[in-house]
Amino acid sequence: MSRLRLVVFDVDGTLADSQAEIVAAMGAAFAGESHDAPDRAAILSIVGLSLDQAMARLAPHLPPARQARLVAGYRQAYFEQRRVNGASPLYPGVRALLDELAHDPFLLMGVATGKSKRGLDALVEAHGLERFFVTRQVADFHPSKPHPAMLVAALGEAGVRPRDAVMVGDTSFDMEMARSAGVGALGVGWGYHAPETLVADRVVHHMTELPGAVTWTLNLKGENRS
């Protein structure tokens, strides 16, 4: 009998190209504190972390109270952008990818993201992705990546063993989280961290490679995980 398997996707930089919104909201947050914003590369380097961790890295010299105000300012700015401009676009090929994977009745899908529940729900609803994901793990309820809590929760909700799961993401935080949780680590090269920084079982550079890479990773690593 075939056993259930699980593929968990990161969102920003993996499924959705949200860098313009992230950079703009970060600029607004820092402007609200009368502080120069970090450059684009620095901002993209923290994508995937929970906001409190992100601000601590971007503004380590500021006291916690001001970092907290940056978090609040970012959230408000991002919300306003979404209200005016709509949700971040999906990368080309994402819909076809999810449709293809959904044809396998033994392959479940989920997400693990540094987004808030409100942000993820808005993105999923805007693009009509509700039917694809059996588990949605967000920053509201877990420690920041790379802590494995989101993946542990996803495995529990899906009823899948670590050896039968793979994490797909674009950052080193995703790959480290995968290793900590004992699941496969599949990197994508179109996101916000340089592909050569991803310590992964495999890194792909085109969306069309992902279905085969998911199967490859699960088959290769399954016997080596508990």
pLDDT digit string (tens) for 28-56?
999 999 999 999 999 999 888 889 999 99
Which of 51, 85, 119 marks a domain boundary? 85
Tokens representing 179 are 């290793």
DSSP-derived pairing of the beta strands 202-204 and 107-112: unpaired
Do 113 and 37 belong to one domain? no
Where does the pLDDT of residue 87 fall: very low under 50, low under 70, confident under 90, or very high at 90 and above? confident
Tokens representing 124 are 């999923």
Where does the pLDDT of residue 226 fall: very low under 50, low under 70, confident under 90, or very high at 90 and above? very low
- SS3 at position 47: strand
Identify the domain containing residue 74 by its residue range: 19-85
Which of 85, 112, 133 marks a domain boundary? 85
Q: What is the mean pLDDT of the chain?
A: 92
Do 138 and 77 belong to one domain? no
Tokens representing 134 are 């059996």
pLDDT at residue 223, rounded to an integer? 58
Do 68 and 165 belong to one domain? no
Do 140 and 188 belong to one domain? yes
Do 50 and 161 belong to one domain? no
Alpha helices in the chain (DSSP H): 19-32, 40-45, 51-58, 64-85, 94-102, 117-126, 149-158, 172-181, 210-221
Do 120 and 170 belong to one domain? yes
Domain total of the chain: 2
Residue range 141-154, pLDDT digits in tens:
999 999 999 999 99
Do 186 and 104 belong to one domain? yes
The CATH number assigned to the domain holding 33 equals 1.10.150
Which of 64, 85, 106 marks a domain boundary? 85
**Residue 224 clears pLDDT 80, i.e. is over it:** no
36 is catalytic: no
Which range among 112-121, 154-163, 182-191 shows the weakest confidence by mean pLDDT? Answer: 112-121
Q: Exposure of 49 by Cβ count < 10 A (0-12 exposed, 13-18 middle, 19+ buried)?
A: buried
- How far is residue 48 from each of residues 2, 93, 97, 208, measured CA to CA in Å? 33, 21, 22, 23
104 is catalytic: no
- How far is residue 193 from each of residues 47, 154, 186, 190, measured CA to CA in Å? 9, 24, 13, 8
Do 110 and 182 belong to one domain? yes
Do 134 and 121 belong to one domain? yes
Do 94 and 167 belong to one domain? yes
Widest Cα–Cα separation across the chain? 61
**What value does the CA radius of gyration of the chain take, rounded to a whole number of Å?**
17
Do 128 and 154 belong to one domain? yes
CB neighbours of 145 closer than 8 A, spacing ≥ 6?
48, 49, 50, 112, 114, 171, 173, 174, 176, 177
**Residue 214 clears pLDDT 50, i.e. is over it:** yes
Do 65 and 9 belong to one domain? no
